[in-house]
Structure 1
Amino acid sequence: MRESHRLPILDAAQRVLETRGLTAITFEAVANEAGLTKGGLVYHFHSKDDLLLALHEHVAAQWERALLQELAKPYEEASDDERLGAYVRTSARSSTRSELLLMLDAATHPAFRAPWARLLARWTPPVTRDADDGVLDRMVTRLSADGLWFLEAFTDEQVDARLRERLAEHLCAPLVRV
């Protein structure tokens, strides 16, 4: 597949998902949104599952770019706490309908869950049985960030941008203890 066509198709699929929902992701709808024929789309994505997997990877890659931008240093040079802080601040920026729908879709499709699992493994602390204070602080921080993201993704409640920023900094405070 020519890379030059992949991104516009996935952007079109994301727009369809955002405005019309997951069930609206059809070859016809995405082709129309992308300005292609259905045959042109099928040339690049042989099945709806191929398209959906690529869409999951595409949106997870958007998250990865946002996380790296928030981190403001090379990933390899960052500590686990700095990575988690970037995750918290990125999660606190608000969610989109397409992200929520993809997360729900991934819950029942292991292949669709894989891009998200890789992302989370890189940026968030693993769930452990260890209950020391550091592990506890990191888990509370992660779960709180996920909860804030979920609140806005799943309800009509919108947290003021300044409050979101303050919440993110509050959640990151335990990560910067010396």
Structure 2
Amino acid sequence: MRESKRSKILAAAVEVVQREGVTAVTFESVAAESGLTKGGLLYHFPTRVALLLGVHQHVAREWDRAMTEAAGKSAAEATAEERLAAYARVASRSGTRADLLLSLEASINPVYAEPWIEVMSQWAPSAKEAETDPAAFDRFIARLAADGLWMYEALTGEELAPGLRQRVSDRLAGP
């Protein structure tokens, strides 16, 4: 099946973010990365804001897809422990620098935050739940550790050895 131009554009934009950061996402940089023309990009994304929103939606959907695959079921069908395990496994093996940079940008821009909130509210333990429920508190601590591993690799550029990564992922995912 041929990759759609929209998907190709979004993948190219993610590569630009991974390599150079969110501010480097321009029609010119994404056109060069994708091999498409600027006009081709404008057909799918009429503004830079529309392009960046599309990137946020694309990456958030990828996280949702990966967590659904890790859990073997949707968030609605999974228990709190299964959702945490899926989140921990995905964050510990899939989180990239681009994901981190996009998440940081979403934290200060409500338009970009919406796709992330929609996905993470289904899968990741929240601080609100942790305030009153001891089991939710433990899941929240595991989430913070999973986020920490993701940030460690994104910020240091160091990748954990596969065996250590698996051990950390297994520990975070719980019994």
Q: TM-score, normalised by structure 1?
A: 0.87
Task: Say if 2:162 is the partner of 1:166.
Answer: no
1:25 aligned partner: 25
Using a 3 Å threshold, how does the CA distance of structure 1 residues 39 and 71 change in structure 2: closer, same or farther? same
Q: Contact 1:91 / 1:149 at 8 angstroms: preserved in 2?
A: yes
Task: Say if 2:146 is the partner of 1:153.
Answer: no
102-111 or 156-165, which moves further after superposition?
A: 156-165
Q: Contact 1:93 / 1:161 at 8 angstroms: preserved in 2?
A: no
Q: Contact 2:76 / 2:122 at 8 angstroms: preserved in 1?
A: no
Q: Contact 2:75 / 2:123 at 8 angstroms: preserved in 1?
A: no
Q: Percent identity?
A: 45
Residue deviations 1:38-75 (CA, integer Å, cap 9, x gap): 12211211110100000011111111111111112344
Which blocks of at least 5 consecutive residues in structure 1 are unaligned? none
Q: TM-score, normalised by structure 2?
A: 0.89
36-45 or 81-90, which moves further after superposition?
A: 36-45
| Larger Rg computed on CA atoms | 1
Task: Say if 2:116 is the partner of 1:116.
Answer: yes
CA distance in 1 between partners of 2:154 and 2:7 (Å)? 25
Q: One-letter code of the match for 2:138?
A: D
Q: Secondary structure at the match of 1:92?
A: helix
CA distance in 1 between partners of 2:112 and 2:60 (Å)? 10
Query: 1:1-178, aligned counterparts within 5 Å?
Result: 4-128=4-128, 130-173=131-174, 176=175
Q: Secondary structure at the match of 1:153?
A: helix
Residue deviations 1:94-140 (CA, integer Å, cap 9, x gap): 53221122112112111111111111101012222634431221111
Q: One-letter code of the match for 2:121?
A: A
Q: Secondary structure at the match of 1:46?
A: coil
- 1:33 deviates by 2.0
CA distance in 2 between partners of 1:15 and 1:156 (Å)? 16
Q: Contact 2:75 / 2:122 at 8 angstroms: preserved in 1?
A: no
**Number of aligned positions between the proteins:** 172
CA distance in 2 between partners of 1:156 and 1:10 (Å)? 23
36-45 or 156-165, which moves further after superposition?
A: 156-165
Q: Secondary structure at the match of 1:93?
A: helix
Which blocks of at least 5 consecutive residues in structure 2 are unaligned? none
Residue deviations 1:130-168 (CA, integer Å, cap 9, x gap): 344312211111111111111111123332221121112
Q: One-letter code of the match for 1:84?
A: L
CA distance in 1 between partners of 2:80 and 2:133 (Å)? 16
